[in-house]
Structure 1
């Protein structure tokens, strides 16, 4: 049941993002989908350098850099449509549809990663 809900949310996110481009004849908002789709990758790649001991007060600079890259991509994905709408390149409705669609895509990826994460008990 969970996978069905996640697939519906992902499809709705892609639909909103593509409609924000197709309805207004401008394909710039499609960049948001790519930003939100690749934003979990730095956390997934650099997250392996985090200590598994919750009491350890050791912070890895590599893991922090992965979190930084993820936050840059997420903020850019939210800010790019706002900047494009402010400069008049895209319509305001396309901006809203693009942000909501990108948020659905990113949220679906995050929920999928947390729900289906493998537990490693040693």
Structure 2
């Protein structure tokens, strides 16, 4: 993108940020619809895990989020980050599954809840991929 004019680069970056905003908004809408359409607000328990999910990365990994994908790591804080993030991901899938197994929510709410989870994960992965580029360091 180095050969594009400055206004085109800004437009592409704004489009990427708008795409992230649409993904996150879609995940929130799916989360609320999973509760409102079936008149059962128990699936909102998953929001606790969505709040806890980025906390280990913010506190322990710092700005080096790309180091989470490396295999060899001597940093014990990075290993704790990987463990706590994995536990939050498992909890985000387990809470609606347990609620369905207990008969508290139906199949429709479970499907919407899990699709909301995957939309949020897609948004996080897109953000981490966008964060690798140097163009965003100037914003």
TM-score tier, shorter chain, comes to 0.7 to 0.9
Residue of structure 2 aligned with 1:92, choices 107, 111, 133: 107
Distance 1:32 1:96, change over 3 A: same
Partner of 2:120 in structure 1? 105
- Deviation string, structure 1 residues 37-67 (Cα, Å, up to 9, x no partner): 43122023211497x99xxx65111111111
Partner of 1:59 in structure 2? 74
Q: How far 1:117 moved relative to its partner?
A: 4.9
Correspondence 1:76 to 2:111: no
Is the CA contact 2:20–2:123 (under 8 Å) kept in the aligned structure 1?
A: yes
Describe the SS at the equivalent of 2:42. Answer: coil
TM-score by length of 1: 0.80
Instruction: Considering Cα pairs closer than 8 Å and 6+ residues apart, tell me whether 1 or 2 has the greater RCO.
Output: 1
Distance 1:11 1:49, change over 3 A: closer
Residue of structure 2 aligned with 1:4, choices 18, 26, 33: 18
Partner of 2:52 in structure 1? 38
Q: Tell me the distance in 2 between the aligned counterparts of 1:117 and 1:31.
A: 32
| Greater percentage in helix | 2
Is the CA contact 2:73–2:79 (under 8 Å) kept in the aligned structure 1?
A: no
Q: Which runs of 5+ in 2 are unaligned?
A: 1-14
Moved over 2 A (4+): 116-120
Aligned residues: 116
Q: Which runs of 5+ in 1 are unaligned?
A: none
TM-score by length of 2: 0.72
Bigger Rg, structure 1 or 2: 2
Q: Tell me the distance in 2 between the aligned counterparts of 1:105 and 1:49.
A: 20
